[in-house]
Amino acid sequence: MPKHILDGAVRKEAENNLNQFQKQNLPSFLFSLAEKLSNDEKPPESRRRLAGKILKNDLAMDPTFKAQIKASLLRTLSSPYPYARSTASQIIAKVAGIELPHKQWPELIGSLLSNVHQLPSSTKQATLETLGYICQEVSPDVLDQDHVNI
């Protein structure tokens, strides 16, 4: 059998397995994706694809799992790999766009501002990128200006 047919069959089987895992336990599935995204040992291309899966499901789940996923995304801002930091920035902003108007994830802005003041320059840069994306996603009237202007 030609190699491209085998590769296609393996890919199809892997996709089926992932879909089954997603259907059986969505919170664990999304947490697993977030953990893989934050793992600097994983290949860059597979990490980028994970972002779409996380966003596609917009974190509608148990609050404990959701908090773990968001913490993993925030950790990814400290990754030594620029593509991982950038991907996490975009995901965080999309989730913020969903949650901040509903008064969810209230600690996000404080966490990001803390990053700007305390961590290495690559994390500061990723954090500023995240804040920029959040400004594009979230209406200014959603955020308490006293909280933002610390």
Confidence band of 58 (pLDDT split at 50, 70, 90):
low
CB 78: neighbour CB atoms within 10 A?
Answer: 18
Among the CATH numbers 1.10.10, 3.30.460, 1.25.40, 1.10.260, which is that of 3-148? 1.25.40
- Give domain limits for the chain: 3-148
* Global pTM value: 0.68
pLDDT higher for 145 or 106?
106
Confidence band of 53 (pLDDT split at 50, 70, 90):
low
Instruction: Render pLDDT for 97-140 as a digit per residue (tens, 0 to 9).
Output: 988 998 889 999 999 998 888 778 899 999 999 999 999 988 88
Polymer length in residues for the chain: 150
pLDDT score of 77: 94
How does the average pLDDT of the chain come out, rounded? 79
In angstroms, the Cα distances linking 135 to 7, 94, 96 are 42, 11, 10
